[in-house]
Structure 1
Amino acid sequence: MRGCAPLLVQSVLPTFVALACLFSFSGVAALIVGLTFPLGLRVDRTLVQAKLAPGWWLRLRVPLALGMGLLNALLGLVAWNAGL
């Protein structure tokens, strides 16, 4: 697969964002992690289309990524409202 560097960057971006936010635990940090978490779905979709991942992969990943993104975003909003 040619040009996979952008996919690699996109696939690890939420992890790097989470690592950066880890050192400044706040509501805003958790909100940012929640918003970047679903970005991995774009990479997953590309891998399924290129037949580098099985067809059922998205049925597994979509609920997990959206659920974790939503939970992190909600945690961030709760912490932000609490003044953290």
Structure 2
Amino acid sequence: MPEIATFVAELREAFGDATINEAVARGKAGEPTFFARENGRTVGTKSADAFNRWPADGSVRDRHYCAGCDGSCVGTGRRYSERR
């Protein structure tokens, strides 16, 4: 799961090892705190509601994080306030 591993590493950088390790461990234990799927492999527990689920096609750009956002700022380190 190389893409998921890269994503989780970026989450660890942003939120700290302890926070992400706890979320992953709780997801593996059956809580809906972490779920990943890549190349037919899954880890963790899916969210029970559709609101918090990742889009079925895996698209990030189709999600709008704030009014007028197309997702192109994701991963750039720019804050929303810097877009104006």
TM-score, normalised on structure 2?
0.28
Between Structure 1 and Structure 2, the one with more helix by share is 1
TM-score, normalised on structure 1?
0.28
